[in-house]
Chains A and B, each alone.
Chain A
Amino acid sequence: MYKYDAIDQQIVNERVKQYRDQTRRYLAGELSDEEFRPLRLQNGLYIQRHAPMLRIAVPYGMLSSKQLRKLGDIAKRYDRGYGHFSTRQNLQLNWPKLEDVPEILAELATVQMHAIQTSGNCIRNITTDQFASIAPDEVIDPRAMAEVMRQWSTFHPEFALLPRKFKIAVSGTKEDRAIVQAHDIGLEFYKDSNNQVAIKVWVGGGLGRTPILGTVIREHLEWQHALTYCEAIIRVYNMHGRRDNAYKARIKILVKALGIDEFGRQVEEEWAHIKDGPNTITEAELHRVAQHFEPMPYESLPAHDAGFDTALASNPAFAAWVKRCTHPHKQAGYRAVTLSLKPHGKAPGDITSEQMHLVADLADTYSFGELRASHEQNLILADVKLSDLFALWEKARAAGLATPNIGLLTDIICCPGGDFCSLANAKSIPIAEAIQMQFDNLDYLHEIGDIELNISGCMNACGHHHVGHIGILGVDKDGSEWYQVTIGGKQGNDASIGTVIGRAFSAEEMPGVVQRLIEVYLKERTDEERFIDTARRLGIAPFKAHVYAEKEAV
């Protein structure tokens, strides 16, 4: 993974110094709340319900074991001994003290980490596929370009105060796993007809209050122009994005208002001025960064391992875990492993300091000392030998990190919700926990099969509910908490936004509602059909009928 040179280190060190002084001035009363707000936000610090929340950047989800240990230590020392992995692959601390944040940042800087631009109206952490570089369907490893873009976007002077937040995702696979269509800019890398690396550029996607999937603004962009082209897009947005209404300020609203043709025309006109300028990426710079992402020193292994095959045949629990929690790898004899942060009845994405240390040890022992966070809020060991899987499983299981539910109903994507977040309309974690307990039966979960259930506590949609096969949105009705249900949303190349099935439900009703949706699916599905396929084929009608019919009968 990328390692800082003296320049990178100086920037994070200077940032710590700058933020320390900003905090000092705020505490001394020299900065008003309103003046401090964008400053702390651009450093990932929210003022929450109980305490501030600090969002630490995990660039494109990559972490070293050393960094994870440091995060574990920070969570222990400055928080309550746990952290929360978010849907933007970042780590959030729920209970730090505002005055401790400069110290936390100083500690982070010692392991080449920071909290720069993890919030605020600026370019946020750039996200990508958690299986970058190892996925068999990968065409381009997008991480070097993601790092080049991270550096470019860090303290970008022109885009320091945009109309609203700005999210970029990059992907280099045939099967999109980075939800590029749900981002302000999505960059899809591919090889063009001349076998050169090119980018398909999506713009104007986003979830939130007004969910819209992105539109292709350019089918073919040479990779050298990624920065200048993004500058042209963001410049048009910075000047013309709505600043008169915070709810209509995302780029998607501007793109819809102008139409993609007119928006594209303005971007191309702007780009003509800066194309081939100094921010054009050179081969040398890409090469310098790409050296940090060379393939791991893999052993030459056969595609099968006798010990692994035996364990698989003789141990059903291990076999279930392998089926759900390991993933194919480009390199023969290796698998990627997802450590589930979704044990039933616990807050999705949460991890204790002790678990962080254990995962760091596992990464050192089995996976070259590196790991990744996924936008589904799990941790990935990307490079594990088949012969190590059984030993790894036993250790992970003992630490509560081997629930074989990846991709199943209880692998719920969930925002922190009303328990922590001051923006939330409703709690989300207790809903996730209640659903997990309702379906706390692995055989049943496996029978239901692949399904994605996403929960957001408000329309800001941090839990990506719009693209969940089942989406749950917390809403406020006359001061009490209700939940609106959508079905038919999906991430990936054929992304779609879910459809609301009808009036909202109380928290107590939610496990039963999900149960009834599943009943319709199990009754109606054809062989090989996943929940999403059945939902798309039938539409919402039969689901709606069953969910509400039973309610009225009660």
Chain B
Amino acid sequence: MALGPYLFLATLEGLVQAAVLCITAAGLSLVFGVMRVVNVAHGEFVMLGAVIAWFAASLVTGHPAIGFAVALVISPVIVGAIAFASERLILKRLDYNPEATIVATIGLLYILQQTVLIVYGPDARPVDPPFYYTIRFPWFGYSSYKLFVIAAAIVIMGAIWFVLQKTKAGLIMRAAQFDRETAQAFGIPVDRVSAFVFAAGAGLAALAGVLVVPIQQAHYLMGADPLLLSFIVVIIGGLGSMSGTVVAAILIGLSDGILSVMFSPTLAKMVSTLLVALVLVFRPNGLFGKAAR
């Protein structure tokens, strides 16, 4: 294949990567923005979403699209409920202390991972995409499902923007993000907002897990990569900045996708890590981040 079409293919792969990363990192960014909690278990919520999608696909008979649709609905709900319970039982009791919550979410990571290992097993298992259709470009054919993932990410990010910017709930979340103390002085129950945000962040991660599982198989250790890349995205974009998260996810997703296809995945991770280092040196608050009160 000539360089042009090869680059085009790599760009498409990068966009798919960016799309999934956008959704995953948006959840992490939302949680950090509102709660100032670094959720090390975030990748496990992606894994849980993927594993639940596998169960849904296995249990629901008929066309794969039905199981996929069921997974799209139940995965975020179940994972959100698990996150909600974790927030009430663990993070709230630690008073959202930054250091303690890092340790606590590491513990949560292992609890979730080992529980899935016991229940689901160590095997990587595939989930059929909801539809098989290959789009024919002049140089190669490309999975329409992957393009669907890009479109779905655009819709989901648009929905997040709408909720945050145009609804009362979004206004409350943004107020709690900017100044928790003053938000309380205006009747905002920041504790309950935190629980809701933690559940919503986990739900987004689960949604990303459902979308990605027809592309990469469900496995109990699959949470590590999304966690690492989400942290990279959130640090580059600016902790808590949703627009920064989108820009950084596209940047990292594209560079990771293109470099992985054209060179090697290891080089792609090296470049991403180097970008983080540069951002931390020259813009410690990230490209779009601001210091919070």
Q: Note whether A and B form a binding pair.
A: no
Give B residues with C-beta under 8 Å from A: none
Give A residues with C-beta under 8 Å from B: none
